[in-house]
């Protein structure tokens, strides 16, 4: 991968249309760079990368909008516990043509169907008797038109029509192919005739491999949420993606997140463990803490310490202050506007209010303005702000800044040692 791509992630996306040529879904595709090609060496890693890019780096709303997503799975991933991290109401699992439809595969498909997943067969070019049972379970059969004659396509259609599965014509290159398939009973279409895959690119956040392993070990040891929260606070990039993931898999939950501990509890331990496993697959080289992420950590910790020193503070304010500090730097981290970021993240109104616009209202907004003034050395602003934040003075601010810097520097040293 070129150096310019090192801090970016890529996701291919190709439309799937219905019989009226209206957009129905997207197939999400592995891409390793801006070139529109897969270059898949490890299918499990490719699938894990697609999932983490779509559901935590981007958030599901950005990747799919209101449409369903089709994701390729090989045999190993089909049986992996990680598959259940995916939101079953918006994902169709495409079983690759390399997967033999034996009894264990049939049993696994039944299990996933009970859990709400839709299942598709990918790149079908023949359907022998061994597919008889599986055909009664799947929702979509994707027929690869390229190597098939019209007679072979008709034979596959006759087999599928005995079931409730829908027919999807794959690799449609011409109007003639589309019309031929539509006349046979196909009602879903995908191919270059309609649209080539497009590539979505974004900035990728590095995660310390040691932190991922430490979190996994804590989960396996049934550690309490406070211990998990402590590790997350040392990894600002993971905090960002935890928020996105919680929003992606919450299936429309209306609860607004007020703290890291709240996000961990809302996501749930099983889902959290699967997500960590996917990150380990998708990012085997790991990475350290960048200067911008270290600044985010410092700001979050400073605001947390200042909130703890306030005379009168509502319950949970230090946790909310830490999260406000982290999210305040997300526009620079992700190259998106704060408005777009807040639309993706289920943050509590008090946090969103402090972040949205230039006024920085409320107690959290005041702490954020104080942190920003401290970073820029704006002594006039600091002097004006301190009296408005009950109980804080210059000595407390200086002590909190020193503690926050020391804490963030320790994170940086641990990241260097981890690498």
Least confident of 40-44, 91-95, 163-167: 40-44
When divided into structural domains, the chain yields a total of 2
Same domain, 137 and 172: yes
Per-residue pLDDT band at 411 (split at 50, 70, 90): low
Are 140 and 222 in the same domain? no
Q: In the structure, what pLDDT confidence band is assigned to residue 75 with cuts at 50, 70 and 90?
A: very high
- Give me 260's structure tokens: 């890291």
Total Cβ atoms within 10 A of residue 147: 10
- How is residue 182 written in tokens? 């539509």
Q: Do 216 and 198 sit in the same domain of this protein?
A: no
pLDDT higher than threshold 50 for residue 32 = yes
Q: Does one domain contain both 213 and 159? A: no
Q: What is the CATH number of the domain that holds 94?
A: 3.20.20.450
Last residue of a domain, one of 169, 185, 202: 202
Residue 188 and residue 54 in one domain: yes
Residues 181 and 327 in one domain: no
Q: What pLDDT, on a 0 to 100 scale, did the predictor assign at position 354?
A: 92
Range of the domain at 295: 209-418
pLDDT category of residue 7 using cuts at 50, 70 and 90: low
35, 183: one domain: yes
Residue-level pLDDT at 17 = 93
Query: Cα(71)–Cα(69) distance, rounded to whole angstroms?
Result: 6
My answer on whether 220 and 344 are in the same domain is yes
User: Does 198 share its domain with 213?
Assistant: no
Instruction: Tell me: do 158 and 259 sit in the same domain.
Output: no
Closest CA to 188 of 201, 174, 205, 170: 170
Query: Tell me, what DSSP letter sits at residue 347?
Result: B
pLDDT at 417 (0 to 100)? 53
Assign 215 a pLDDT band (cuts: 50, 70, 90).
Answer: confident
d(C-alpha 213, C-alpha 219), whole Å: 10
Task: Tell me how far CA of residue 163 lies from CA of 25, 91, 158, 185, in angstroms.
Answer: 22, 21, 10, 13
Higher-pLDDT residue of 70 and 220 is 70
Q: State the pLDDT confidence band at 2, using cuts at 50, 70 and 90.
A: very low
Residue 259, domain CATH: 1.10.3210
- Given this model, what pLDDT does residue 268 score? 85
Position with higher pLDDT, 26 vs 278: 26
CB 166 within 8 A of CB 188: yes
**pTM greater than the 0.75 cutoff:** no
Q: Which strand (E) or helix (H) includes residue 368?
A: helix 362-376
Confidence of residue 251 (pLDDT cuts 50, 70, 90): very low
Q: Does pLDDT of 260 surpass 90?
A: no
Spatial separation of the C-alpha atoms in residues 325 and 262, rounded to whole Å: 17
Of the candidates 175, 202, 229, which is a domain's last residue? 202
pLDDT of amino acid 181: 96
Q: Which of 271, 243, 219 is nearest to 85 (CA)?
A: 271
Clarify whether residues 46 and 163 are in a common domain: yes
Of the residues 186, 202, 218, the one at which a domain ends: 202
CA distance 211 to 288: 10
pLDDT exceeds cutoff 50 at 49: yes
State residue 20 phi and psi, 5-degree precision.
-95, 10
Return the beta strands (E) in 371-416 as ranges.
none
| Pair 388, 260: CB distance under 8 Å | no
Rounded distance between C-alpha atoms, residue 341 and residue 345, angstroms: 6
Examine the domain organization and report whether 10 and 124 are in the same domain.
yes
More confident of the two residues 276 and 139: 139
Angle at 320 between CA 316 and CA 326, to 5 degrees: 155
Cα-based distances in Å from 85 to 156, 202, 206, 270: 33, 22, 21, 8
Cβ–Cβ < 8 Å for 375, 369: no
């Amino acid at each position: 991968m070129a150096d310019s791509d090192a801090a970016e992630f890529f996701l291919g996306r190709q439309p799937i249309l219905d019989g009226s040529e209206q957009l129905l879904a997207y197939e999400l595709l592995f891409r390793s760079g801006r070139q529109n090609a897969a270059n898949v060496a490890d299918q499990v890693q490719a699938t894990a990368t697609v999932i983490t890019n779509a559901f935590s780096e981007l958030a599901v709303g950005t990747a799919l909008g209101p449409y369903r997503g089709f994701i390729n799975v090989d045999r190993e991933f089909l049986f992996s516990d990680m598959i259940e991290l995916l939101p079953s109401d918006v994902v169709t699992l495409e079983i690759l043509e390399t997967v033999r439809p034996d009894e264990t595969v049939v049993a696994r498909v039944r299990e996933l169907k009970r859990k709400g997943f839709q299942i598709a067969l990918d790149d079908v070019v023949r359907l022998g008797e061994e597919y008889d049972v599986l055909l009664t379970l799947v929702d979509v059969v994707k027929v690869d038109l390229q190597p098939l004659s019209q007679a072979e396509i008709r034979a596959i259609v006759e087999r599928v029509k005995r079931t409730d599965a829908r027919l999807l014509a794959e690799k449609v290159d011409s109007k003639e192919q589309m019309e031929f398939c539509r006349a046979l009973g196909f009602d879903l279409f995908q191919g270059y005739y309609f649209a080539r895959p497009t590539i979505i690119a974004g900035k990728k956040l590095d995660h310390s491999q040691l932190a991922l392993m430490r979190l996994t070990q804590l989960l396996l040891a049934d550690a309490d949420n406070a211990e998990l929260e402590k590790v997350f606070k040392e990894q600002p990039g993971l905090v960002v993606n935890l928020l996105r993931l919680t929003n992606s898999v919450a299936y429309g939950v209306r609860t607004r997140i007020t703290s890291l501990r709240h996000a961990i509890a809302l996501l749930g331990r099983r889902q959290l463990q699967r997500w960590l496993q996917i990150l380990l697959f998708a990012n085997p080289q790991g990475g350290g803490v960048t200067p911008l992420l270290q600044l985010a950590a410092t700001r979050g910790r400073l605001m947390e310490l200042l909130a703890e020193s306030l005379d009168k503070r509502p319950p949970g304010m230090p946790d909310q202050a830490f999260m406000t500090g982290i999210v305040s730097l997300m526009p620079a981290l992700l190259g998106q506007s704060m408005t777009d970021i807040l639309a993706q993240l289920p943050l509590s109104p008090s946090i969103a209010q402090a972040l949205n616009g230039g006024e920085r209202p409320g107690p959290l907004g005041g702490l954020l303005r104080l942190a920003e003034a401290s970073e820029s050395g704006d002594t006039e602003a600091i002097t004006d702000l301190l009296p408005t934040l009950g109980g804080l003075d210059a000595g407390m601010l200086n002590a909190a800044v020193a503690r926050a810097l020391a804490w963030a520097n320790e994170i940086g040293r641990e990241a260097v040692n981890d690498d």
